[in-house]
Structure 1
Amino acid sequence: MPPRRWTAADVPDQRGRVAVITGGNTGIGFETAKVLAARGASVVLAVRDADKGKQAAAEITAAHPEADVTVQRLDLASLASVRAAAGELRAAHDRVDLLVNNAGIMYTPRRTTADGFELQFGTNHLGHFALTGLLLDLMLPVRGSRVVTVSSAGHRQGGPIDFADLDWTKRDYSRVAAYGNSKLANLMFTYELQRRLAGTGTVAVAAHPGGADTGGSRTSVSLQPFYFRAFFMLVRPFLIQSAEMGALPSLRAATDPDVQGGQYFGPEGFQESRGHPKVVRSSPQSYDVAAQRRLWSSSEELTGVRFPV
């Protein structure tokens, strides 16, 4: 008899837990926040646009009047904003049980962050690296706390990461490869963080949503040639799932009592594009320990953030 599929109904009681979710106002971040709040967690939507965050919080509390949802302004493309947000979170909370590094941008033209980093790498990886490092000492005393970082099947389109040209100034820019690099970095960060967390009560886990119907996925399709878009419309029902389903890997990584540090969750279906969450494998290069350590040291140097582990 096949094992029963994991669903949002399997999320255990979250009362007493503080969950910080980046990009929690839309897409899979919003669906993740909605379920955690419904289960009793105190949820913080860490978002770039505070007004949109307040709208999302109001939508959650309208559906679940007892929900505890607050909004924290956070622009991951600015280290000053990351530091300010971490300081405000530390002032408001004496513990963090769950940090979901969910926010991300996808396939942008070549631009830079406020600190001069290539925009996708700077936002998707370096911003989350810095935020995690600045909040981790609020998590380490909390047994069962977790850092969940959301990657993408698109990580397979990245790498090897060129550490001599992280900002793409020495070669032609590829928005697809740059996005892939940022999502590959999310995984390498998770695996190296878990190694450093060994012996603590905190674990690092990764997840990806598959082909979730979100703004990012719609943008990625719109950038493709006409023939691809026409073909995609035919196969879409077999490759795309709802944002609610796309949030399940993150929710399982965040709440399943049987999760182990260093695991990676994604949909069970064809090419991990849709379906219920299970443990999956990332690309071979994501497990390169030497590259993970080099990414870590580069990220420390670029952000100026040192971890308490």
Structure 2
Amino acid sequence: MSDLVLRGRTVVVTGASSGIGAAAARRFTELGATVAVIGRSPQKTAAVAKTIGAESHVVDFSQLDDVRRLAEELLTRYPRIDVLANNAGGIFASRKESTDGHEMTFQVNYLAPFLLTNLLLDRLAQTPGGARVVNTASMDYRKGNLDLDDLDTTRNRYRWRSVYSTSKLATVIFTRELARRQQGTGVTASAFHPGVVASDVGRDSAINGALMRSWLGKALLSTPEQGAEPLVHLATTPDPVTIDGAYFHRLDREEPKNTQATDPALALRLWERSALLTGLSATNRG
């Protein structure tokens, strides 16, 4: 890959105040891109942005109104968006509800990125040469079980690993459906598993947090830089059409190993339900 391959291009990275997002933001800057560093913590997000000479933008994915505000801010600030990296996410040890009344894992990992992507779609479609949406998923999608009648986990017992897996399954389904809907527009979409990375994704769990910070965790887990490799790869692959709608396990393309991930009827219903839950009008539903 040549130096400054992203010169003149704009990359938006969510979850960039630490971990994979921060590492990816640094790499994109090294490749010449203008990077929008987006995170939840004003202090940490500003610190990352300062180190790479970028601008910081703060958002709380537990509030859909704040996602809408962020979208307006990005549209005002950046006349073109070449890559949208939906990387923000979280794991919650116990069931919590967002201010919008949704189960927190489902909203932070899926609904908020779904909304942000749709609000930026017109700008992405206007990008000369095409634009890319790259979604951070997880191999845990294989264990997910999407129940459209219980997206907020109100009927079934809350098991954090199962809920997390299902949110990542929704991400994979969303990626494939977005790619289908955007055919011919110049917008492509792909998703990836970054590896098991030492990051802040499990900050809500004392046990997960302790593992991430321990010497054992650091020895066994991938670094944020390693976790960012597939994100950068998908954002810079010469011909994005070849990876449109695809899921990658690290750097290897993988055919989905969950039958729900390839169900077109389920993908359509999930999209329509998500549009309703996020308040998107019929004209904004992709």
Q: Could you tell me the TM-score, scaled by structure 2's length?
A: 0.89
Deviations 1:181-216 (A, max 9, x none): 111111000000000011111101111101122233
Distance 2:195 2:272 in 1: 30
Native 8 Å contact 1:250 1:265 kept in 2:
no
- DSSP 3-state at the match of 2:125: coil
Distance 1:298 1:218 in 2: 29
Q: After TM superposition, where is structure 1 displaced by more than 4 Å over at least 4 residues in a row?
A: 9-12, 217-221, 233-239
Native 8 Å contact 2:179 2:189 kept in 1:
yes
Distance 1:25 1:236 in 2: 20
Q: Structure 1 residues 123, 236: CA separation in 2 closer, same or farther (over 3 Å shift)? A: closer
Q: Point out where structure 2 has 5 or more consecutive residues left out of the alignment.
A: none
Of 146, 149, 152, 2:135 maps to: 149
Of 251, 264, 276, 2:232 maps to: 251
- What letter matches 2:245 in structure 1? G
Of 103, 125, 132, 2:117 maps to: 132
Deviations 1:41-85 (A, max 9, x none): 110012112221111112224xxxxxxx11111111111101111
Alignment of 1:160-309 (within 5 A): 161-216=146-201, 222=207, 240-259=221-240, 260-267=243-250, 277-284=251-258, 285-306=260-281, 307=284, 309=286
Q: Structure 1 residues 196, 246: CA separation in 2 closer, same or farther (over 3 Å shift)? A: same
- DSSP 3-state at the match of 1:215: coil
Distance 1:305 1:80 in 2: 12
Q: CA deviation at 1:220?
A: 6.9
Q: Structure 1 residues 75, 237: CA separation in 2 closer, same or farther (over 3 Å shift)? A: closer
Q: Point out where structure 1 has 5 or more consecutive residues left out of the alignment.
A: 1-8, 62-68, 268-276
> Does residue 54 in structure 1 map to residue 50 in structure 2?
no
Q: CA deviation at 1:11?
A: 7.4
Q: CA deviation at 1:308?
A: 6.2
Deviations 1:82-102 (A, max 9, x none): 111111111112221110000
> Does residue 16 in structure 1 map to residue 11 in structure 2?
no
Alignment of 1:22-33 (within 5 A): 22-33=14-25
> Does residue 98 in structure 1 map to residue 77 in structure 2?
no
Native 8 Å contact 2:92 2:160 kept in 1:
yes
Q: Structure 1 residues 179, 40: CA separation in 2 closer, same or farther (over 3 Å shift)? A: same
Native 8 Å contact 2:17 2:40 kept in 1:
no
Distance 1:101 1:10 in 2: 25
Native 8 Å contact 2:93 2:204 kept in 1:
no
Native 8 Å contact 1:156 1:184 kept in 2:
yes
Which of these two proteins has the greater Rg computed from alpha carbons?
A: 1
Q: Structure 1 residues 197, 11: CA separation in 2 closer, same or farther (over 3 Å shift)? A: farther
Q: CA deviation at 1:10?
A: 6.4
Native 8 Å contact 2:138 2:194 kept in 1:
yes
Distance 2:8 2:119 in 1: 22
Q: CA deviation at 1:222?
A: 2.5
Distance 1:115 1:237 in 2: 36
Q: CA deviation at 1:263?
A: 1.5
Q: CA deviation at 1:218?
A: 8.1
Q: CA deviation at 1:40?
A: 1.0
- DSSP 3-state at the match of 1:43: strand
Deviations 1:164-186 (A, max 9, x none): 11111122111111111111111
Q: CA RMSD in A?
A: 2.5
Distance 2:197 2:204 in 1: 12
